[in-house]
A and B are shown apart, each in its own frame.
Chain A
Amino acid sequence: MTGADPLRPAATGFGAKVGSFLFAHLPPVFGLLRWIWPVPHFGATWMLTRYDDVREGFLNDPAFMVPYKGKLDVIMGGVPFFLGMADTPEYRRDVGAMRAIVRPADIKDRLIPEMNKRAEAVVAGANGEIEVVDTLVRQLTFDVLNEYFGVFAPPGVDLRVWATRLFEFQFADQSNDPSLRKEVDQYAPGLLTLIDNLIAERRQSGADIDDVLGRALKAQAASPDPEAAGYSDKQIRSALIGFVAGGLPQPPMIAPQAMEQLLRRPDALAGAQDAARRDDDVALAGYVFEALRFDPLGPAMPRVLVEDVTVAQGTSRAVTIPKGATVYLSFMSAMRDPRRVADPDTFNPKRPSSDYIHFGMGLHQCFGIHINMALVPLMLKPLLRREGLRRKPGPDGHLAKRGPFADRLVVQYRP
């Protein structure tokens, strides 16, 4: 089911080449920085590279403000979404409202069985060769989670394209590319209307469907003041857009990256396959997220300081960063910091949770963390269970990236 390409054409030219080369060789650069220049900065742009400092940046949310609000407003048409908020009553209201209807029990009761079923079907149907990024992971993510959210696209709309563009605009568009903005100006209102329509339709049809949208509308009906409870139409719409555009494009990035890292390590791959075959999902998750530590979602998360902050106060590297500075919290670097992570260059599928910052931490730790931790390994599981799993010979068999996005990885197995 390939329609328009969810990823924009790769940038070309010398600059792009240098960029992607650097991007691929960040770990040693970070290693050096952690050692000799742990808090590097260029003008008003700063970076934290040590585990302790990155952690402090994430946890100190009052001073390290998320910078997402501006672009979120573009996407959400000005209705605030909690990702862009400080730790305010509104933030707690909106997050609380969603926590109440995106329930932990759903993971075990419906998402895991559903994912297992569909993933197996996709792999079974692929007959010995499969492209991991789009055909497997993106499709599974959008199918399973959109059904859970209650977000369905009308014919002619490819949510994968819309969501991925909006995601790129929000998180990966440091240079504010005008051509991307043009697409966003088309897809953002499109998604708004799409969800508005879904809400209206659902309300009209009176259908009692137990998905996130259905639960939200029920909660809305049950509450005297839906806005105060976090369930006004606009709040529901923002949350759903946030989930779809902010969340769904991510598994297709990280799951193939994890697969690529496993393919590079025969022992680890064998271990992951063994765990998959033994149905030991805990062990399997250990392999997948450890693999991801070597190529995580991205190098860093941005923050903007709302006050002067002295990072690593009381230590010899203490440094004061001025108000207004943009600070990148390099969780990629933190997860390889030997000062806090034991043997960071060793692949160890049994690490404690403290070794991972895949989902951020503190106030803005990923809303979908538990869903992702459960589902991402399962997307790869049926593939890992197959005998004779290997890269497809040729360039397709190695993970290609387009900018920050995983683009293509083809593997083969005994059908």
Chain B
Amino acid sequence: MRQTVLSVVLEVQPASASRLREIIRGIRKAEETVKTDADWYYDRLRHGVPLLQFMSMTVCEDAQFDPVLVIECNFDGAPGPFWAQLENLYSKELRDMLRCCQRPRGKLQALFDHVTAPESRAAIAPFLEAATIWPAVFHIGNRGLPRERSERETALFDYCQKRLDDEPALRSRTATEVHAALRTGALAQFPWLNKPEQPQVSTAENIADWANLIGFLVLAVAVLTVPGLLLRSTFPSWLPALLGILGTVWAGFHLNWMKDPALPGLMGLPNPPVIIFGIGGVALFGAVVSVGADRFLHWSCVSTVGAMICSAGALLAVILAWIDVLETADPSQTAPPLNEQKIRDQIASEDRITQNHMISIVHLKPGVLRAILIRAGLWGLGYFLRLQARDGYLASMRTIHFAHWAFVSNGSRLMFHSNFDGTWESYLDDFIEKAHAGLTLAWSSGVGFPPARFLAFEGATHGLAFKNWARHSMTASQFWFSAYRDLTVNQIERQVLVADGLRTPTLPEVKAADWARRL
């Protein structure tokens, strides 16, 4: 079951920013006052847009840019139906919001004019679709679990809990019998238990995920080895070998790591200095093979392969050294100007339901190498996560429902959104303590980020500095919606296991006991 993560980012007419905020707050107020269910806010939105899981609308200010309107959407299925559902509810508000935005130039202009003209009744969805910004990398905690299914399974879970509470007699039965008893009752109320669910990750998606990652890796290898191939095909073998060795030597001279205490390894890898030595070794090995095979054995094929290996090793070494040079000189913002009122607004909006939301926009550090690496890094990370993080766990954290990074402002800024369980503090601590490498990789290209090493090391481990930096880049959303205010990522997966158990006609005792533990 496909899920979509996207955002729409539009520049706002500065003078209209406060009006825009008012419109958004107006939507929120209306949602919070119109109540149909007894204990539920946001009813209209919840029923009117059943595809929606999380959504935020925020006007983000920045000292260097005009304010931007960010509409962040996380929903089931393809964008078209989602936008139609949303427009059906908020067509007036959305149109008024767009009217506060700057007229885009280029392809979007005609659509924008059409949608925002006085008295316009044109559909807004096509514009929002055209203005969509796709994430550079995203993570979905409960992948392939549409909201509609989670809601069903919540009801089933509650049903099971109630039966267990109300029927102490079940306690004297075996787990298999308990399972059978619950299943019999549940089937009557939840006939869908008899029907197969869509797989969380379909075969097609699975194949695509693998193909993407493999394609990415092949491309990366190609980019690194092609210089060797080209040089070798036009010049004698000593030239690529010499260039490779020169590059590696240059890299060796420029590495600063010796002056620093050794960095820890990461995810089972040795620490960076060891890696760099290894890479240098690879370059040398390639050079020797290339020249040797050519001069002494006259195996031109092997020689070419050697040149390619040399090229890859040398390029990697140069890139790492270059990064090291950049990072050593990187200024970082140790004390970002914290706007107390802004932070208070953020804190006031937090910790009201099970989940919290954060939106942050940071400037990106300049330079070609960085520009390439951050894009390639996020791109690869995205493919990696699609395969790696399917059961809700990101490293050892299982708290993120939907998160994404996207480039905005023509690639000069990086936007981050997350909808996570628990407090903001605990969320950042989780990153600091458990998943700092991935986070540092994604964010160390941000201006002012705490000093990082080799893109993925340190950085976010500087707890307080990192939290301050993150806070100051954030904005309290004027509107934020969660479709299920008391479900954690964990609980959603737990309900899946409970439901899966009940779909099975009979469970042998061991499996049944395992199943019953989830209850």
Contact = CB atoms under 8 A, between A and B. Distances in A.
A354 interface: yes
Nearest to A55: B123
Interface string A56-85: 100110100000000000000000000000
B24 interface: no
A52 interface: yes
B500 interface: no
Among B78, B84, B112, the most chain A Cβ lie within 10 Å of the Cβ of B84
B163 to A, nearest CB: 20
A51 interface: yes
Nearest to A51: B84
Interface stretch (A3-11, A36-44, A118-126, A308-316): A308-316
B231 to A, nearest CB: 45
B101 interface: no
Contacts of B77: 342-343
A314 B110 contact: yes
Contacts of B47: 352
A26 interface: no
A62 B117 CA distance: 15
B88 interface: yes
Interface of A: 51-52, 55-56, 59-60, 62, 270, 312-315, 338-343, 350-355, 362
Q: Is the interface of B mostly helix, strand, loop or mixed?
A: helix
Interface of B: 47-51, 76-78, 80-81, 83-85, 87-89, 108, 110-115, 119, 121-123, 125-127, 130, 148, 191
Contact of A350 (B110, B111, B119, B148): B148
A48 B107 CA distance: 24
B88 A352 contact: yes
A295 B89 CA distance: 25
A376 to B, nearest CB: 20
A56 B111 CA distance: 14
A310 to B, nearest CB: 8
Contacts of A340: 80-81, 83-84, 125
Contact of A342 (B51, B89, B111, B121): B51
5 contacts: A52-B126, A56-B122, A62-B119, A343-B77, A353-B88
A341 B48 contact: no
A254 to B, nearest CB: 21
B84 A341 contact: yes
B114 A314 contact: yes
Contacts of B121: 56, 59-60, 362
Nearest to B125: A52
A220 B110 CA distance: 50
A315 B48 contact: no
A69 B84 CA distance: 32
A350 B152 CA distance: 12
Given A340-B84, A342-B77, A353-B88, A314 B48 contact: no
A397 B112 CA distance: 52
Nearest to A343: B77
Contacts of B88: 352-354
Contacts of B85: 352, 354-355
Contacts of B50: 350-352
B10 to A, nearest CB: 15
B166 to A, nearest CB: 21
B123 A314 contact: no
B123 A52 contact: yes
Contacts of B108: 314
A339 B123 CA distance: 13
B49 A314 contact: no
Nearest to A318: B110
A48 to B, nearest CB: 12
Interface pairs A-B: 4 shortest CB-CB: A314-B111, A354-B88, A340-B84, A342-B81
Given A313-B122, A315-B126, A354-B48, 13 more contacts: A314-B112, A314-B113, A314-B114, A314-B115, A339-B81, A352-B48, A352-B49, A352-B85, A352-B88, A353-B88, A354-B85, A354-B89, A362-B121
A314 B87 contact: no
Nearest to A313: B114
Nearest to B87: A354
B325 to A, nearest CB: 48
Contacts of A270: 191
Nearest to B49: A352
A364 B518 CA distance: 54
A55 B123 CA distance: 7
A352 B48 CA distance: 5
A136 B77 CA distance: 40
A353 B48 contact: yes
B155 to A, nearest CB: 13
B84 A313 contact: no
Contacts of B48: 352-354
Given A352-B88, A354-B87, A314 B126 contact: yes
A338 B80 contact: yes
Most interface-central of B108, B110, B113, B122 (chain A CB within 10 A):
B122
B346 to A, nearest CB: 32
A341 B110 contact: no
A61 to B, nearest CB: 8
Contacts of A59: 121
B397 to A, nearest CB: 31
A379 to B, nearest CB: 25
A52 B87 CA distance: 11
Given A55-B123, A56-B122, A314-B127, A354 B84 contact: yes
A352 B147 CA distance: 14
A269 to B, nearest CB: 13
A275 to B, nearest CB: 12
Contacts of A339: 80-81
A290 to B, nearest CB: 13
Nearest to B148: A350
Contacts of B130: 314
B221 to A, nearest CB: 38
B97 to A, nearest CB: 18
Contact of A313 (B76, B83, B110, B191): B110
Contacts of B119: 62
A313 B80 contact: no
A52 B121 CA distance: 11
A343 B77 CA distance: 9
A205 B49 CA distance: 53
Nearest to A270: B191
Contacts of A315: 111, 126
A56 B123 contact: yes
A342 B49 CA distance: 11
Nearest to A312: B126
A405 B50 CA distance: 34
